């Protein structure tokens, strides 16, 4: 039986730097593994927040593995809040099902997407973790109905896309994806652009050199008509971290700005980068070493000066956490969604932390 948990637990906590926060269960279902919001995306319209995640199937496994049954599908879910993240409703639109789960077959996009429509949102998802294929869905009514899946072109050795895009005009968007390396292993980031509403995509620029390990899962901001900034998840044994890159020519060439944060020993974690109303940068990420936690850093200026780590959520029992997505509410509070656990081998669940960014 499907069960959606609607904010049944709100716990008050204190971060390492002081701001009060609330931890709210968004989705928890017996026998299920709720995971990976970063693979799906988050969108908001004022206090209405919509976030995607996977509902996989729980299975007890060795402690260094995901506690899930890999032989069963990761089904797409949406969580919607109409009150700034305090309560949530779980949605299961059939139009978001991939072909492997009974959804429509992917097809070419045959008309331009209305990128600046008031209720527009887009999600890009991979079917294989390393080299694709990837598909695109879009909505014009804030995620109530979706159109797709549409084929996404297999640049290089194949695109393993997560949702990271910037709307630049009625027909122009910049998308950041992970592409398989020359050995067809995961992966390196690439900047792409459409100028005709998604009918065609062009390669703009590789973000960094091909890594010995992997550099994946960009999270990106536009700082000016020509300047872009992105945060990349990097794994280079024995370390895992988030690296910043900047482009001054609208994505054609990229330069490292250095490490933003360490993300722990076990495979690391993607970060989510947003710009706050006061002009500061905020990056949120999971930390997969003890103490297992969801963390953030705030930065200001250019080049960015990053402040100390903030513990957004602590107390996890195992490394298998994170993949956050964050938005800032109209009142300035940040809502960060992620997946979490409270015992080493139990089901994983989706949680949201509502927190105030500390002042400078």
- pTM of the entire predicted model: 0.94
101 three-state secondary structure: helix
Q: What is the pLDDT of residue 128?
A: 74
Ordered DSSP codes for 159-199 = EE--S-EEE-SSS-EEEEEEE--TTS-S-EEEEEEESSTTS
Query: Whole-angstrom Cα distance, residue 242 to residue 272?
Result: 10
Query: Whole-angstrom Cα distance, residue 219 to residue 138?
Result: 19
Q: Is 223 left (phi over 0), alpha (psi -120 to 50) or beta?
A: alpha
Q: What is the tens place of the pLDDT at every residue in 68-99?
A: 999 999 999 999 999 999 999 999 999 999 99
Provide the 8-state DSSP code for 333. Answer: -
Q: What is the pLDDT of residue 6?
A: 37
Q: What is the pLDDT of residue 17?
A: 39
Answer for the pair 35, 348: CB distance below 8 angstroms, yes or no: yes
- Please work out, in degrees rounded to the nearest 5, the angle formed at the alpha carbon of residue 20 by the alpha carbons of 78 and 293: 60
Ranges of residues in the chain with a pLDDT under 50 are 1-19
Q: What is the pLDDT of residue 274?
A: 98
Q: Which domains does the chain have, with CATH numbers?
A: 10-355 (2.120.10.10)
Give the torsion through C-alpha atoms of 183, 189, 193, 199, to 10 deg: 50
Contacts of 151 (CB under 8 A, 6+ apart): 106, 107, 108, 109, 133, 135, 136
Tokens of 229: 């900034």
């Amino acid at each position: 039986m499907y069960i959606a948990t609607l904010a049944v637990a709100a716990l008050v906590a204190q971060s390492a730097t002081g701001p009060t926060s609330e931890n709210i269960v968004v989705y928890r279902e017996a026998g299920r593994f709720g995971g990976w919001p970063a693979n799906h995306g988050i969108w908001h319209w004022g206090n209405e927040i919509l976030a995607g995640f996977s509902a996989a199937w729980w299975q007890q496994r060795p402690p260094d593995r995901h506690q899930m049954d890999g032989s069963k599908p990761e089904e797409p879910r949406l969580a919607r809040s109409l009150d700034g993240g305090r309560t949530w409703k779980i949605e299961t639109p059939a139009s978001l099902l991939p072909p492997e789960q009974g959804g429509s077959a992917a097809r070419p996009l045959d008309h331009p997407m209305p990128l600046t429509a008031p209720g527009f949102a887009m999600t890009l998802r991979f079917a294989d973790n390393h080299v694709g294929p990837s598909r695109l869905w879009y909505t014009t009514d804030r995620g109530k109905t979706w159109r797709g899946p549409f084929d996404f072109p297999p640049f290089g050795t194949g695109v393993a896309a997560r949702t990271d895009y910037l709307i630049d005009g009625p027909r122009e968007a910049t998308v950041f994806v992970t592409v398989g390396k020359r050995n067809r292993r995961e992966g390196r980031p690439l900047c792409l652009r459409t100028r005709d509403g998604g009918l065609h995509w062009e390669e703009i620029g590789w973000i960094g050199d091909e890594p010995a390990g992997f550099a994946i899962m960009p999270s990106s901001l536009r700082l000016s008509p020509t300047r872009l900034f992105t945060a990349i998840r990097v794994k280079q044994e024995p370390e895992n971290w988030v690296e910043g890159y900047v482009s001054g020519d609208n994505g054609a060439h990229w330069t490292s700005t250095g490490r933003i944060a360490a993300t722990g020993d076990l495979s690391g974690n993607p970060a989510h980068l947003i710009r706050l109303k006061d002009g500061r940068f905020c990056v949120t990420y999971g930390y997969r070493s003890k103490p297992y936690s969801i963390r953030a850093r705030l930065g200001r200026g250019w080049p960015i000066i990053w402040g100390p780590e903030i513990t957004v959520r602590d107390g996890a029992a195992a490394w298998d956490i994170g993949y956050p997505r964050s938005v800032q509410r109209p009142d300035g509070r940040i809502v960060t969604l992620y997946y979490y656990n409270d015992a080493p081998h139990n089901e994983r669940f989706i949680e949201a932390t509502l927190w105030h960014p500390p002042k400078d």
